[in-house]
Chains A and B, each alone.
Chain A
């Protein structure tokens, strides 16, 4: 009996040892190093890292207005993604009903997510191009040429264009996630609700949404994390311009590190975005829990 327990314990320890070591090496150590770096003025090359205390944190709040402008742009992405969630959910609910071509619609919706982000961003650069751009051609052919804007260069418009591209890319992924969650709800429960006279809205609000609460929470987290750390779409489509008008927090952080050789300050910004993501996630969790409990 003892030997079985010993073997079991050894197996557990060995099974856990490798992931724990990997976690310590590739997650914990870099994170600790990142936090430590955020208190230095390291230029990314010098062998010495001069300790500057909380100087970077103070400068980040007091001397980096463009950083906060960039963060504001991130929240535009977040807002657009949040607006898309009810639409994605509605499509997933529709796809969950029995009609032909569900699989095809899901595949088409999922396609943008598996397309390479860099290639897709380049394609959209040309799509929104002011010269020979397909989007302007479409508007013109529909008789809506007065709607034509400087899609990628007008600071008032550009972030919404980029956020829409981001939403286009990730909506299919969210639809598939919602759809998978909805499929997992036992059919007996839904049938019982229908027999009891529950209408579509009541079924959604009282049964489907609470049942997929974990999926919903994950999608929300994915949106928050993804939009606050958004990089590839603005980097390729506008390079954060004009000026910093379409820059994002991550784009600005990377510029700080590589263009201006301020790895210490960039580490501070990375810590800040980590904290912001955690805070927004916690807030979202509290709100979601309250809503679903009701």
Chain B
């Protein structure tokens, strides 16, 4: 007890000392760091430690905010001789490809971001953060453990909304849908109304040429319709998940029925995400399904957003409730390859306890920290006004077994989605093939 008290005291003194060297505003920063409970990690560190912390991200939006809020400078008020090297990647695909190569060479950065679907891949390379104050104050961290360890602290809540132009809805005489069937009708009505004059009009702008933008329909629909956030883990236990009566079969059948009505425009596979976003901003698409990063791009576009509103994708369950997927995103973790793991942990504590309250105000995402309150983004808040019967489903990417099967049989839900848009696509044949591949993979992996 004496030792803990002494440690806390010494960190408070160190913080006060550094605060004296900095501007008046920074004193509260340093002091709050010590007060917020990161004393143990920091107490073991020499504040004059000389090091460079490497930190990799694909969040291009965040880089600007780091500069604006002076992330490095504020951390240097605590550790003046520590440099922060932020490695930026174009997108998550490139990011995780690079991380994979670097993991095999034991060259991972000190801190890196994860998504739940990559927990099983990188889990062994991440330090346990269970004892950090950041984990204790995070609303999602404890629910997203991997093998009993907190391997990352989520800084965003990823939720996909349907962003739409209310003036287009009004002119076409449609209202926000409350059920999946109504959603299909709304899409059809919009497509017929505007598509008659403009053949390139899209009721839903998807950007399916890039394949990944299909995820709100192809990745989330099974979990949403069934209301089971860990659907992929259930699927890993089934030999023929695409058989009659299985949730994914029902979900994909509904999605296929929607897509086959031509609501993605005349050539949905000919346009990528960026092109589609431009068309949406130009009101050549009525709706786009996107997350907070997409909303940030919409906001940054500079177009008039007076008519922009949102609603939840109406994945209605059996009781008529809309099941809305929400998951932690951008899980910041400390890698086992870090040469300064304690310093990296100290940075993580600083990041979530001191920096995050300011930073999260800049993001479109909701806050994940109990210590950082934030009002919901006004464009997302429209959804709560339009639809009230909403059930939040906490979503997790599949665990080890699911990942192993997917790797073995090369199941790619987004590719299945793009294939649904090709001429002559046979849904029944696709289900049969997926079932055969899935059960063969399970057999090979000894999961029968």
What is the CA–CA distance of A255 and B415 in the complex, to the nearest angstrom? 12
> Is A259 among interface residues, defined by CB-CB distance under 8 A?
yes
Assess whether A258 is in contact with B96, with CB atoms less than 8 Å apart.
yes
Assess whether A153 is in contact with B100, with CB atoms less than 8 Å apart.
no
What is the CA–CA distance of A239 and B121 in the complex, to the nearest angstrom? 24
> Is B37 among interface residues, defined by CB-CB distance under 8 A?
no
Residues of A near B272 (CB, < 8 A) are 125
In addition to A131-B200, A152-B209, 15 A-B residue pairs with Cβ atoms within 8 Å of each other are: A44-B103, A45-B103, A45-B104, A131-B267, A151-B270, A152-B270, A153-B267, A153-B422, A238-B209, A239-B209, A239-B211, A241-B211, A242-B418, A242-B421, A243-B419
CB of A290, distance to nearest CB on chain B (Å): 42
Tell me which of A128, A258, A262 contacts B270 (CB under 8 A): A128
Of B100, B208, B209, B421, most A-chain CB atoms within 10 Å: B209
Question: Nearest chain-A residue to B266 (Cβ)?
Answer: A130
* Chain B contacts with A in 365-423, Cβ cutoff 8 A: 403, 406-407, 410, 412, 415, 418-419, 421-423
CB of B285, distance to nearest CB on chain A (Å): 10
Question: Nearest chain-B residue to A153 (Cβ)?
Answer: B269
Residues of B near A241 (CB, < 8 A) are 209, 211, 269, 415, 418
What is the CA–CA distance of A45 and B265 in the complex, to the nearest angstrom? 41
What is the CA–CA distance of A128 and B125 in the complex, to the nearest angstrom? 43
CB of A146, distance to nearest CB on chain B (Å): 14
> Is A150 among interface residues, defined by CB-CB distance under 8 A?
yes
Interface string of B248-263 (1 = CB under 8 A from A): 0000000000000000
Residues of A near B100 (CB, < 8 A) are 44-45, 258, 261
> Is A260 among interface residues, defined by CB-CB distance under 8 A?
yes
> Is B29 among interface residues, defined by CB-CB distance under 8 A?
no
What is the CA–CA distance of A70 and B121 in the complex, to the nearest angstrom? 27
CB of A277, distance to nearest CB on chain B (Å): 24
Known contacts A45-B121, A258-B100; decide if A243 and B415 are in contact (CB<8 Å).
Answer: yes
Question: Nearest chain-B residue to A254 (Cβ)?
Answer: B97
Assess whether A243 is in contact with B121, with CB atoms less than 8 Å apart.
no
What is the CA–CA distance of A85 and B200 in the complex, to the nearest angstrom? 38
Assess whether B103 is in contact with A130, with CB atoms less than 8 Å apart.
no
Question: Nearest chain-B residue to A256 (Cβ)?
Answer: B410
Assess whether B210 is in contact with A239, with CB atoms less than 8 Å apart.
yes
What is the CA–CA distance of A167 and B407 in the complex, to the nearest angstrom? 34
Interface string of A150-177 (1 = CB under 8 A from B): 1111110000000000000000000000
Interface string of B207-222 (1 = CB under 8 A from A): 0111100000000000
* Chain B contacts with A in 93-129, Cβ cutoff 8 A: 96-97, 100-101, 103-104, 121-122, 125
What's the dominant secondary structure at chain A's contact region?
Answer: loop
Interface string of B406-447 (1 = CB under 8 A from A): 110010100100110111000000000000000000000000
> Is A245 among interface residues, defined by CB-CB distance under 8 A?
yes
Residues of A near B266 (CB, < 8 A) are 130
The number of chain A residues with a CB under 8 A from chain B is 31
Residues of A near B422 (CB, < 8 A) are 153, 155, 242-243, 245
What is the CA–CA distance of A131 and B125 in the complex, to the nearest angstrom? 45
A-B contact pairs, 8 of them (CB 8 A): A66-B410, A129-B271, A130-B267, A130-B271, A132-B200, A153-B270, A155-B422, A241-B418
Question: Nearest chain-A residue to B125 (Cβ)?
Answer: A45
> Is A29 among interface residues, defined by CB-CB distance under 8 A?
no
Counting from the closest, the 3 A-B pairs by CB-CB distance are A153-B269, A130-B267, A130-B270
Question: Nearest chain-A residue to B103 (Cβ)?
Answer: A45
Residues of A near B406 (CB, < 8 A) are 260
Question: Nearest chain-B residue to A150 (Cβ)?
Answer: B267
> Is A126 among interface residues, defined by CB-CB distance under 8 A?
yes
Of A153, A239, A242, most B-chain CB atoms within 10 Å: A242
Assess whether B209 is in contact with A131, with CB atoms less than 8 Å apart.
no
> Is B301 among interface residues, defined by CB-CB distance under 8 A?
no
Residues of B near A131 (CB, < 8 A) are 200, 265, 267, 270-271, 275, 279, 284
Question: Nearest chain-A residue to B275 (Cβ)?
Answer: A129
CB of B160, distance to nearest CB on chain A (Å): 21
Question: Nearest chain-A residue to B210 (Cβ)?
Answer: A239
Residues of B near A262 (CB, < 8 A) are 407
Assess whether B97 is in contact with A242, with CB atoms less than 8 Å apart.
no
* Chain B contacts with A in 264-318, Cβ cutoff 8 A: 265-272, 275, 279, 284
